[in-house]
Structure 1
Amino acid sequence: MSETEMADYEQILPLIKDDPDTALQYLEKLRALPDSSARFDFLIGNLHFQNDRKQQAAADFIKAIGKFPDYRQAHANLAILYAQAGAHKEAVRHFTEAIRLGAVDATNYGLLAISHLTLENFTAAEEAFRLAMVLAPDIKDWEMGLMRSLYMQERFPEVVSMLDRMIAANPADDSLWTLQANAHMGRKDMLAAAANYEVLHQMGKLETAQLSTLGDIYVNEGMLEAAADAYLRAYEKTGGGDVSVPLRAAEILLAKEGFKASRGLLQKVQSAGESKLTPEDRRRVMKLEAKIGMAEGREAEAVKILTQVAEQDPLDGETLLMLGGYYQKEGNNEKAAFYYETAGNIEAFEADAKTRLAQLYTGMGKYAEAIPLLKRAQDLKPRDSVAKFLEDLERFMKSRR
Structure 2
Amino acid sequence: MKKTKLLPVAVLASLLSAFIPVSQAQMDPTQTRSFWDDPDFKNRFMGTYGQLSDVEPKVSREEGAFLQSVVPVIRDNPRQAITELQNANSDGATAVYDFAIGNIYFQEGDLNNARTNYLAAVKKHPDFRRVHKNLGLLEVREGNLDAAIKHLSKSAELGDMDSRTFGLLGYAYLQQGKFVPSESAYRQAVLQDPDKLDWKLGIAQTLITQERYDEAIALFSQLIEANPDRSDFWLLQTNAYLGSNQPLKAAENLELVRRLGSLDSASFVLLGDIYLNQQMPDLALNAYQEVISREDKPDIKAPLRSASILAQINAFDESQKLIDTIQTNYTSELTKPDRLKLLNLEAKIAKQQNKVDRSAEILEEIIEEDPLNGEALIQLAEYHVDKDEVEKAQFIFERAQNIEGFEAQALLSHAQLMVKNSDYVEAVNLLNRSLAIKPSKAVEDYRDRVERAARSLR
> If the length of structure 2 is used for normalisation, what is the TM-score?
0.72
Deviation of 1:324 (Å): 3.2
Alignment of 1:1-400 (within 5 A): 6-20=60-74, 24-33=82-91, 35-238=92-295, 249-266=306-323, 280=336, 286-329=343-386, 334-347=391-404, 349-350=406-407, 352-353=409-410, 356-357=413-414, 365=424, 366-377=427-438, 386=440, 388-389=441-442, 392=445
* Residues 431, 447 of structure 2: 8 Å contact kept: no
* Residues 106, 133 of structure 1: 8 Å contact kept: yes
Question: 1:376 is matched by which residue type in structure 2?
Answer: I
* Residues 419, 450 of structure 2: 8 Å contact kept: no
1:290 counterpart SS class: helix
Deviation of 1:139 (Å): 1.0
Deviation of 1:276 (Å): 7.4
Change (3 A) 1:352 1:150: farther
* Residues 412, 430 of structure 2: 8 Å contact kept: no
* Residues 231, 245 of structure 1: 8 Å contact kept: no
Change (3 A) 1:81 1:355: farther
Deviation of 1:147 (Å): 1.8
* Residues 234, 245 of structure 1: 8 Å contact kept: no
* Residues 76, 95 of structure 1: 8 Å contact kept: yes
CA distance in 2 between counterparts of 1:110 and 1:241 reads 35
Deviation of 1:109 (Å): 0.6
Question: 2:193 is matched by which residue type in structure 1?
Answer: A
* Residues 235, 242 of structure 1: 8 Å contact kept: no
- Match in the other structure for 1:382: none
CA distance in 2 between counterparts of 1:4 and 1:288 reads 78
Instruction: Tell me the matched-pair count.
Output: 391
- Greater displacement, 113-122 / 254-263: 254-263
CA distance in 2 between counterparts of 1:49 and 1:282 reads 55
CA deviation map 1:211-258 (0-9, x unaligned): 333222222211122222222222332499998776654433222111
Question: 2:377 is matched by which residue type in structure 1?
Answer: L
* Residues 355, 373 of structure 1: 8 Å contact kept: yes
CA deviation map 1:31-62 (0-9, x unaligned): 324x4443433333333334433222211221
* Residues 354, 377 of structure 1: 8 Å contact kept: no
CA distance in 2 between counterparts of 1:43 and 1:169 reads 40
1:19 counterpart SS class: helix
* Residues 153, 169 of structure 2: 8 Å contact kept: yes
* Residues 162, 189 of structure 2: 8 Å contact kept: yes
Change (3 A) 1:211 1:46: closer
Deviation of 1:351 (Å): 5.7
- Greater helix share, structure number: 1
Change (3 A) 1:80 1:330: same
CA distance in 2 between counterparts of 1:107 and 1:240 reads 38
* Residues 341, 353 of structure 1: 8 Å contact kept: yes
* Residues 208, 238 of structure 1: 8 Å contact kept: no
CA distance in 2 between counterparts of 1:177 and 1:221 reads 21
CA distance in 2 between counterparts of 1:307 and 1:398 reads 35
Change (3 A) 1:83 1:350: farther
Deviation of 1:305 (Å): 3.4
Structure number with greater CO (CA < 8 Å, separation at least 6) is 2
- Any stretches of 5+ residues in structure 1 without a counterpart? 379-385
Question: 2:64 is matched by which residue type in structure 1?
Answer: E
CA deviation map 1:335-389 (0-9, x unaligned): 44543443344445456545545666677533344234234235xxxxxxx3x22
CA deviation map 1:158-177 (0-9, x unaligned): 22222222122112122222
Change (3 A) 1:44 1:284: closer
Change (3 A) 1:151 1:347: farther
Superposed CA RMSD in Å reads 3.8
- Any stretches of 5+ residues in structure 2 without a counterpart? 1-50
Change (3 A) 1:128 1:368: same
* Residues 411, 430 of structure 2: 8 Å contact kept: no
CA distance in 2 between counterparts of 1:277 and 1:107 reads 47
CA distance in 1 between counterparts of 2:405 and 2:298 reads 30
